[in-house]
Amino acid sequence: MSNTSRVTLRDVAKLAGVHTSTASRALNESPGRTSKETVERVRSAAATLGYQPDHLARALKTKQTFLIGVAVPDLLNAVFPAVVRGLEAVLGEAGYIVILANTDSDPERERASVRAMILRQVDGLVLMTSHLRSNLTEELGALNIPLVLIGRVVDGWKVPSVAADDQWGMAEAVFHLADLGHTQIAHIGGPADTSTGRDRYHGYLAAMEERGLEADPSLVVTAASFDEVAGAKACRELLAWTTDFTAITVGSDAIAFGCYDALSEEGLEIPGDVSLVGFGGWPAGTRANPPLTSLWMPYDELGRIGGELMLAQIRGDESETEVVRVRGQLIVRETTTVPRVEVASQGE
């Protein structure tokens, strides 16, 4: 048909050789007992004809809004737009629209945003909550609304979640530095009340132990948040305490960018005096001076997996996996080298 706007569900059913009601079920996210072969035949017919389902009519019939509420801690953080992009790609294909709320990592603002979304009768909620514990746990648990966590896990909250394999990632950073010969490795972590801050710190400790290195408590500082200002402040705190280290692992690329300034203020060069490894793999790291070695994470993939978990929740699918962990890749650039003692010995 030349005018695809006139293609109806009846046309699809006729081409597929099935009843209209069967075609309708086959095109739904939950096709019920319709056989796999029939579903494929109907969907192939729909693609051939260029059929576009009427989501408004479907919403009126099913009482669904086809809205998914998403609460994000900080939209200025480059991680979250990438996650949302992946999330929208999957949900958009299924006919859902994402509505965003920026919470600024404020629990009360998060609660207010979630309540507003619920009042708008969203079909599901995606939370990128920044805290290990949340006052929303009991409230949402009683509502029986499809719920997915992305980027974080919350203690005692057994809901489908997808997050970076933070312990593995930080261990990779430590192993890289240890392989270069570093033994005095400091760590500037993210907030301890977040799963990312906690898990990356545990990854640091585990990797140091595995390599037989001492994780000196005096070389560990916690940043108040995952941003550049907090990173600079934490690095200054570390430098005020000691300079007896040759490398630093940090909880995020933004924290690492703050370290650039703090180390420069002390007359310390990267990587000649101090090697530095970030976490996140932000594109801005390639433009830093020098370019930042970092554990790159596929944040758009986190969003895509989160979208699939949400659709599974809406369909009522059972899932044995409570937390999906995604691994990235260490991208070695110019902020890491052999420790300064080795550089000095080579120059003799």
Identify the domain containing residue 37 by its residue range: 4-53
Indicate whether 134 pLDDT > 70: no
Pick the residue with more confidence: 107 or 130?
107
- Give per-residue pLDDT as tens, 300-312: 999 999 999 999 9
Q: Are 18 and 42 in contact (CB under 8 A)?
A: yes
My answer on whether 171 and 282 are in the same domain is yes
My answer on whether 185 and 293 are in the same domain is yes
Which CATH number does the domain housing residue 103 bear? 3.40.50.2300
Q: What is the pairing mode between strands 147-150 and 161-164? A: parallel
Kindly tell me the burial class for residue 331, based on how many C-beta atoms sit within 10 Å of its own C-beta (0-12, 13-18, 19 or more): middle
Domain assignment present for residue 188? The answer is yes
| Average pLDDT, integer, range 140-164 | 81
My answer on whether 26 and 91 are in the same domain is no
My answer on whether 14 and 68 are in the same domain is no
My answer on whether 144 and 291 are in the same domain is no
Q: What is the share, in percent, of the chain residues with pLDDT greater than 70? A: 86
My answer on whether 49 and 72 are in the same domain is no
- Determine the Cα–Cα distance for residues 127 and 151; give it in Å rounded to an integer: 9
- Determine the Cα–Cα distance for residues 26 and 13; give it in Å rounded to an integer: 10
My answer on whether 129 and 8 are in the same domain is no
Distance of CA 243 to the CA centre of its chain: 33
Which CATH number does the domain housing residue 38 bear? 1.10.260.40
Indicate whether 348 pLDDT > 50: no
- Determine the Cα–Cα distance for residues 32 and 105; give it in Å rounded to an integer: 40
- Determine the Cα–Cα distance for residues 127 and 228; give it in Å rounded to an integer: 24
Cis previous bond, 283, omega within 30: no
Indicate whether 318 pLDDT > 70: no
Domain assignment present for residue 171? The answer is yes
- Determine the Cα–Cα distance for residues 28 and 92; give it in Å rounded to an integer: 14
My answer on whether 318 and 284 are in the same domain is no
Domain assignment present for residue 68? The answer is yes
Domain assignment present for residue 258? The answer is yes
Structural domains of the chain, count:
3
Can you give the pTM of this predicted structure?
0.76
* Confidence band, pLDDT 50/70/90 cuts, at residue 193: confident
- Determine the Cα–Cα distance for residues 343 and 348; give it in Å rounded to an integer: 9
Indicate whether 346 pLDDT > 60: no
My answer on whether 216 and 250 are in the same domain is yes
My answer on whether 105 and 249 are in the same domain is no
Return all residues near 118 (Cβ < 8 A) that are at least 6 apart: 69, 125, 143, 145
Domain assignment present for residue 58? The answer is no
Q: Are 247 and 277 in contact (CB under 8 A)?
A: yes
- Give per-residue pLDDT as tens, 245-276: 999 999 999 999 999 999 999 999 999 999 99
My answer on whether 204 and 277 are in the same domain is yes
- Determine the Cα–Cα distance for residues 281 and 296; give it in Å rounded to an integer: 4
**DSSP track, 269-281:** -TTTT-EEEEEE-
| Average pLDDT, integer, range 106-120 | 87
My answer on whether 207 and 282 are in the same domain is yes
The tally of CA atoms less than 13 A away on the side-chain side of residue 273 is 11
